[in-house]
Chain A
Amino acid sequence: MSSQNRTIQEALSAIERSQRLKRISWLLGLAVVVALTYGGLQVLNFSLEMLARQQDNFFAAIADFVPPNFVELSLYSKTNEVEGLGGVLQTLTHPGTFAETFTTEAGRNGTILGLSFITIVIGFTGTVLGFPLALVFGILGSERVVPFPFNFVFRGTMSTIRAIPALVWILIYIPLAGITPLSAMLAVATDTIGNLGRLFTDELEEIDEGPIEAISSTGADRPQIISFGMLSQVSTSFVAWTLYILEINTRIAISLGVYGAGGIGQYIDTRIALGAYDRGAAGIAMVIFIVLTVELLSSRIRARLRPGEHEGKGFVDSLRDLGNPKKWLGVGDTTKDSKN
């Protein structure tokens, strides 16, 4: 009995020793991070005193942004010079002029809605055009499909593409199309190959061996084994990843606009440069609206793709769910709601 107690005592002290060691190394790590951050702030000439001195200027400038002025929201508000939030109201109550805002050159280049349309088109077409190459590179980059080390040719290509940000890709495409919405789209498409392809490759590394074995035992040839045994396992997650990249690409399209490549980003940039902060604020409000809408749409579709959640639910039911705010926000017992 006493010998057993001793061993328990020994085990206890061994555990406590290792826990103490773990705690000390955590504290050491934390101290290192704090020291490095402090050093970094010195490099950046950070001083609270300077920020305090500038704060009045800063808040005065921020105040210029409110209230946002939506006079350039649509062709209607622009031609009738409806200032402030009235621009939104008047635009919504005159939907007849929507088409003109999106189809005419004046609408697409001079209104918030038209320019937002350009931005969304850049993000969307860039994603769609980048997708096939992302698919090819992503599949060929997987060790399951192309044996090591040859798959690294494709992995390396994707890594290189990824290492160059879209903001630099558009500079590379200047000789091709200048800094325009077109070159912005090309930059987004290139970026998509690297980012989406990498996600595809990672996804393929996680598939089960079973269905591959099952398909090969039917006497299927190599391309059939890849398509049915491997890709069929990941098809829905490929779609989900593509939607996720679409969200990111929409944001990239906005920042490329600030760079001068057109769209809502450029609107914000020029209005702020001209000192029309209230109009710039309207553009920023629009950006928030676009990004949140794309995110919400894409996350709803991705949730639907997740197996199990919407088992056997018909298309009509899913459409009805689109009108359920709880579903959108992902709260509440949604199954109960739809039954009531």
Chain B
Amino acid sequence: MPAVSLENVTKVYGEETVALDDISVHIPEGEFVVVLGPSGAGKSTLLRVLNGLTAPTEGEVRIGKDPVGGANSAVGMVFQMHYLIESMSAYRNALTGALGRTGYVRSLFSAYATEDKTAALEALDTVGLLSEAQQRAGSMSGGQKQRVGIARALVQNPDLLLADEPVASLDPKAASDVMGYMKSAAKERELTTIASLHQVNLAREFGDRFIGVRDGSVVFDGDRDALTMDAVDDIYYGDGGDEPPEALAENFEDESDEEEIPQ
């Protein structure tokens, strides 16, 4: 039984904007999947369909046995722009992950269950921010904010962790740190993770499996060995399409020069 499955999922915006075109994907439990693809390929829509913020036009999305029917605490989400509540501390931001199982009045007075408070601190520990727990989120660095975002998603105790371009607005060092924390958190908790990324080198470093999306269709699905430079070109530019720009090629070569990709 796969942890996540999309069965013939199609999403059409408005009259004819096809964001997802008959996609079928099955992901086993505990796998760290990276979704690659050019801007506007449908990566974000794919993730939004998975966490229930967007309903598919056709097809079925299942997490475990249950079909997804709206936003719920079973899916943790890490956003590109962190979307923390900047006026609150890292700890209280992490605790908002427990809102789904806390009554309104209790949440209003920060009267969370003790195990939720512990869970929040454990999650902050997982992302290396235990000593910064009381710091105001607004005064943290971009990388730290994103790690608090991961902690918030972990507190939900989700079956699936989604990350939509989680490091796109970070510098390379912070981006690598954040991906590292996300990867180790997923490993530690045996958490199925799907992240969309722009940086091919980061994707290769942290992903177990890669799904290439272009024009709403899956054009690649394979492991690190299968993700050759030609395969990446194919995801971004199509068969016999335009030549890739220098930057991308260099980016890819830098990565392979190091030859330290853990297998």
User: A residues within 8 Å of B by Cβ?
Assistant: 208, 210-211, 213-221, 223-224, 227-229, 232-233, 235-236, 307, 311-312
Contacts and interface: CB of A to CB of B under 8 A. Distances in A.
Given A216-B71, A217-B71, A228 B96 contact: yes
A233 B107 contact: no
Q: What DSSP secondary structure best describes chain B's contact surface?
A: mixed
Contacts of B77: 214, 217
Interface string B72-111: 1111110101011111100000001111111010011000
A223 B104 contact: yes
Given A217-B76, A228-B99, 4 more contacts: A217-B77, A218-B76, A221-B104, A236-B87
Contacts of B136: 312
Contact of B85 (A211, A216, A224, A311): A211
Contacts of A227: 104, 107-108
Contacts of A214: 77, 79, 83-84, 96, 149, 152
Contacts, number: 78
Give the secondary structure class of A's interface. helix
Choose among A216, A218, A227, A229 the residue with the greatest number of B CB atoms under 10 Å from its CB. A218
Contacts of B81: 210
26 contacts: A208-B83, A210-B81, A211-B85, A213-B79, A217-B76, A217-B77, A218-B97, A218-B99, A218-B100, A218-B152, A219-B74, A219-B100, A221-B104, A224-B102, A224-B107, A227-B104, A228-B85, A228-B96, A228-B107, A232-B87, A235-B87, A236-B87, A307-B86, A307-B87, A307-B138, A312-B139
Contact of B139 (A213, A229, A233, A311): A311
B163 to A, nearest CB: 12
Interface string B129-145: 00000001011000000
B53 interface: yes
Contacts of A216: 53, 71
B79 A219 contact: no
B156 interface: yes
B51 A215 contact: no
The 8 closest A-B pairs by CB, nearest first: A219-B100, A219-B73, A214-B83, A220-B99, A210-B83, A217-B77, A232-B85, A219-B72
Contacts of B138: 307
Most chain B CB within a 10 A radius of its CB, from A215, A229, A307: A215
A316 to B, nearest CB: 18
Nearest to B149: A214
Given A219-B100, A312-B139, A213 B83 contact: yes
B156 A219 contact: yes
Nearest to B139: A311
